[in-house]
Amino acid sequence: MLGDSAKAQEVFQTTLREAALRAAQGELPREPFWLFRDARWRCLETVKEDLQPEALKLDEHDVAPHAASQIEKLEPAQLAVWISGAPDPQRTALALFYLDEFDYQEILDLAELKLNELSRFLAQGRQQLQAWLDAKQPQQGKV
């Protein structure tokens, strides 16, 4: 989400340290995803402090039937870098979606989105990812 492993590690350690302190004091929230939400907010705060890229319009292509095979050819770091370039909250929605660990309701809760927002962010992100994949793997894009 941060696009910088050192910053991500720092946020991770800070989040866990805070969770340990809260646990020691018996103050852990009862909601199941509080730790993810806390980490997300820390990431967003960290990103706010950095230089922000100019918003730009990315190309969009219809999602191709062979998109899954194109994604399988990517290294996880390549997908992570691509996702980290998206604006938030789309970045959060895409990261949680491609982690493939959360159902849609959990993503809605974690990202604090409404269903129509999540749907729009995912659809737009998948079309933008398809355009990027077609540019990166042009022989696959013309099948």
Which tens digits make up the pLDDT trace of 87-136?
Answer: 878 888 888 888 888 899 989 988 889 999 999 999 999 999 899 888 88
68-88: average pLDDT: 84
9-30: average pLDDT: 83
Extents of the domains making up the chain: 5-49, 67-141
The per-residue pLDDT of the chain, averaged, comes to: 81
Q: What is the pLDDT of residues 44-62, one digit of tens each?
A: 787 776 655 555 567 888 9
Residue 4 reports pLDDT greater than 70: no
Q: What's the confidence (pLDDT) of residue 29? A: 82
CA dihedral 8, 80, 1, 83 (to 10 degrees): 160
* Span 67-141 CATH architecture: Orthogonal Bundle (1.10)
Cα 43 from chain centre: 11
Q: What's the confidence (pLDDT) of residue 140? A: 45
